[in-house]
Each structure stands twice: as C-alpha cells, then as structure tokens.
C-alpha cells in the first residue's frame, strides 16, 4: 500500500456553536416573572376568603381554600349581574370581533388580489388609520352616536368594534403572500366564479391569518374599557371590564371591602376565556408562522 493510502484523513474542526448570552437569558427570565407574577397573585388570592386577603401574604395560600365559594358568590352577587356582564362581553366579542374579522378578511383579500383605481389611496388611508389610537376617536364617535340616538345601547359598542384597520392591514399582507396568483388564474380558467375561487381555494389558505386577526380583535374587544365607559350608562349593558371597575370602586369605599374578594375572583374568571382561546387556537397560529418561514 502506498504512503498516500495510509494517511489518516484530516478531521474538519467543528463549527463553533453560537453561544447563548447570559444577559439575554436573565432579561428573558425577568420578563417572564413580570408577566407571571400578577397572574400568580390573582390565582392565589382568588382562593382566599375575605378575611384572609388582608391577614396573609399576597403570594402565598392561606389556611382556608375558598375558591369555589368565591366563584359561587361572584356569580350570584347582586342578582347574578356578573353573569349578565359576561353574556354582554360574549355578545360584543361574537358580533364585534367576529364581524371585524370577516370584514378584514374580505377587504384584505380584495386589496391584495385585485387591481382597481385608488388602491394606493386606500393603502395610505389604512396605514393612517392604524396609527390613530382608538381612544382618540371615542369622543367624536360618542358625539355622532348621540345624534343618532344609539348611545347606551349595545350597538354603540359593537359598531366601532367592527372596524379594525390593523386587522385589515394584516390580512392584506398575509393574503398577498399566502395565495399564489397562478392558482387563482388556474381556477378562473377552469370556469370557477370569483365567489367559488375565494371560498374553496383562497379561504383555506387564509386560515392562519384569519386566526391571528380573530385573536387580536377578540382580545381588543374583550378588554375594551374606554369606549363602553363613555357609551354606556345602564349597568345591565356593561361588559366585564366596566362591571369589575364598578365593583372595585365600590370595594374601595367605606364598608365596601366586603366584596373585594369578588373583584379578584371576577378578574380571574374574566381572563380564563382568553387563555382558553389562545390554547385552542395556538396550533393554527403556529402552523401559519411555520408555513410562512419555509420556502418550497
């Protein structure tokens, strides 16, 4: 055998692995604690009785476990008004956030896949609307609705919730990348109408974007506070945010501390539907993010 054949092959040095910055890990841990500590405080204190709230440490359980009794008291207090607020919030979310998602999907799809005069002006209008905070439009909206006579009604909360400029912009950009123009042209060549092309071809591809817009609009409507505050006077039409604030104001007055445990338990019950929605829709959201990161 020749000397060349007996040579030992040279091993290539391994590529240096990216080092994890300890500073980044510490900052991430701080942000995680900042996010979870209030939730932990809320969960722990919802298990305490009224007396234990002021006699025990806030971030530790007390001797008596009163979570279920607190929930029962919250749901039955003042004739079950909390249940009414919950149903009102669900109504605002289903009609308002659902309608906003539907309009965003239709508008974003049309703006992304069709050409028409004034498209650039529409784009500039949408971008400008995204930059305007909703609180800046609340007072003009109230003045307009008062002239129309629909303040202190559910429509005064639902109608503004139907408009989501950020959701429209998000669906616009998502539809432009998720739906190949060639696929739509092939469907048209086969004789499919525009409605059938949208329903059977485009809509399934827009699934992750629809879920994302739905989550954003649902959270915004569920947590909406300032708009109902200036639109509604009747407590029977309050959402959960406004109702819990009324309970909290009552709890801070003299003799009103007897319902402070109901405020905490009600706040816990308020965030549970949002957590459930994120957990149920998480796989659709993650699949859309993963699909957008891989180029075939």
Which 3-state string (H, E, C) describes the chain?
CCCCCCCCCCCCCCCCCCCCCHHHHHHHHHHHHHHHHHHHHHHHHCCCCHHHHHHCCCCCCCCCCCHHHHHHHHHHHHHCHHHHHHHHHHHHHHHHHHHHHHHHHHHHHHHHHCCCCCHHHHHHHHHHHHHCCHHHHHHHHHHHHHHHCCCCCCHHHHHHHCCCHHHHHHHHHHHHHHCCHHHHHHHHHCCCCHHHHHHHHHHHHCHHHHHHHHHHHHHHHHCCCHHHHHHCCCHHHCCHHHHHHHHHHHHCCCCCHHHHHHHHHHHHHHHHHHHHHHHHHHHHHHHHHHHHHCCC
8 Å CB contact between 137 and 128: no
Q: What is the mean pLDDT of residues 157-177?
A: 93
pLDDT at 85 over 60: yes
pLDDT for residue 294: 41
For the ranges 90-99, 128-137, 138-147, 182-191, the lowest mean pLDDT is seen at 128-137
pLDDT at 254 over 80: no
pLDDT at 144 over 90: yes
CB atoms within 10 A of CB 8: 5
pLDDT, tens digit, for every residue of 178-192?
899 899 999 989 898
pLDDT for residue 155: 95
Q: pLDDT band for 293, please (50, 70, 90 cuts).
A: very low
pLDDT at 18 over 50: yes
Q: What is the mean pLDDT of residues 233-254?
A: 90
How many Å apart are CA 158 and CA 148, to the nearest integer?
A: 15
8 Å CB contact between 36 and 28: no
Q: Is the dihedral of CA 160, 165, 166, 170 positive or negative?
A: positive
Domain locations in the chain as residue ranges: 83-232+266-290
Q: What is the mean pLDDT of residues 153-162?
A: 95
Q: What is the mean pLDDT of residues 36-63?
A: 85
pLDDT, tens digit, for every residue of 93-128?
999 999 999 999 999 999 999 988 988 898 889 888
For the domain spanning 83-232+266-290, the CATH number is 1.10.3720.10
Query: Against a cut of 0.95, is the pTM above it?
Result: no
């Amino acid at each position: 055998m020749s000397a060349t054949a007996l040579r030992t092959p040279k091993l290539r040095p391994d590529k240096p692995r990216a080092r994890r910055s300890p500073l980044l890990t510490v900052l991430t841990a701080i942000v995680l604690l900042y996010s979870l500590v209030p939730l932990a405080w809320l969960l722990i204190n919802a298990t305490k009785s009224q007396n234990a709230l002021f006699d025990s440490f806030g971030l530790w359980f007390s001797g008596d476990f009163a979570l279920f009794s607190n929930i029962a008291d919250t749901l039955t207090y003042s004739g079950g008004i909390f249940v009414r607020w919950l149903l009102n919030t669900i109504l605002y979310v289903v009609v308002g956030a659902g309608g906003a998602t539907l309009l965003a999907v239709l508008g974003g799809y049309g703006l992304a896949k069709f050409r028409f005069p004034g498209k650039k002006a529409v784009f500039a209008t949408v971008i400008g609307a995204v930059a305007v905070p909703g609180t800046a439009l609340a007072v003009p909206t109230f003045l307009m609705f008062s002239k129309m006579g629909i303040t202190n009604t559910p429509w005064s909360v639902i109608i503004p919730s139907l408009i989501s400029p950020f959701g429209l912009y998000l669906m616009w950009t998502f539809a432009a990348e998720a739906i190949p123009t060639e696929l739509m042209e092939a469907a048209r060549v086969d004789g499919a109408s525009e409605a059938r092309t949208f329903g059977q071809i485009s809509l399934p591809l827009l699934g992750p974007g629809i879920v994302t817009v739905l989550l954003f609009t649902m959270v915004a409507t569920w947590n909406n506070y300032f708009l109902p505050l200036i639109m509604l006077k009747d407590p029977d039409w309050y959402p959960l945010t406004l109702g819990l604030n009324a309970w909290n104001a009552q709890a801070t007055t003299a003799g009103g501390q007897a319902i402070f445990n109901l405020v905490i338990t009600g706040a816990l019950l308020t965030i549970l539907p949002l957590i459930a929605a994120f957990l149920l829709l998480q796989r659709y959201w993650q699949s859309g993010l993963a699909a957008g990161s891989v180029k075939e």
